[in-house]
Amino acid sequence: MLGEKLKALRMEKGITQEQLGEIFGVSAQAVSRWEKDAADPDISLLPGLAIYFDVTVDALLGMDEIKKQESINQIHGEINRFMVNGEFEAAVAFIREKLKIYPGDWGLMMSLGESLARLSDDPACRAEAIRIGEEILQNGKVSMKGKGTTAANLLFLYVRDGNREKSAWLIKSLPHIWESREMLAPEMEDEKEYEAALRQSMEKAIVFFYRRLKAMDTRKPGKTPEYIQLGVDFRPPESMEIMLKRISDFLIS
What are 7-63's pLDDT values in tens digits?
A: 989 999 899 999 999 999 999 999 999 989 888 888 888 888 888 888 888 778 777
Contact present, 228 and 149 (Cβ < 8 Å): yes
DSSP code, position 41:
P
Largest CA-CA distance found in the chain, in angstroms, rounded: 82
Residue 101: count other Cβ atoms within 10 Å of its Cβ.
12
The pLDDT, as a whole number, for residue 94 is 96
The pLDDT, as a whole number, for residue 207 is 96
DSSP code, position 223:
S
The pLDDT, as a whole number, for residue 14 is 92
The pLDDT, as a whole number, for residue 218 is 86
Verdict on whether the full-model pTM lies above 0.85: no
Instruction: Give the chain's mean pLDDT.
Output: 90
Contact present, 121 and 94 (Cβ < 8 Å): no
The pLDDT, as a whole number, for residue 95 is 96
First to last CA, the chain: 60
The pLDDT, as a whole number, for residue 47 is 87
Contact present, 144 and 184 (Cβ < 8 Å): no
The long-range contacts involving 101-109, CB below 8 angstroms and separated by at least 24 positions, are: 102/68, 102/72, 105/72, 106/136, 106/139, 106/141, 106/142, 106/146, 107/72, 107/76, 107/146, 108/72, 108/75, 109/135, 109/136
Contact present, 103 and 68 (Cβ < 8 Å): no
**Which H/E stretch holds residue 205?**
helix 191-214
The pLDDT, as a whole number, for residue 235 is 93
CA distances to 7, 52, 55, 144, 171 from 64, rounded to whole Å, are: 17, 18, 11, 26, 39
The pLDDT, as a whole number, for residue 199 is 95
The pLDDT tens digits for 48-72 are 888 888 888 877 877 767 777 788 8
* Intervals of the chain under pLDDT 70: 64
The pLDDT, as a whole number, for residue 204 is 94
The pLDDT, as a whole number, for residue 229 is 72
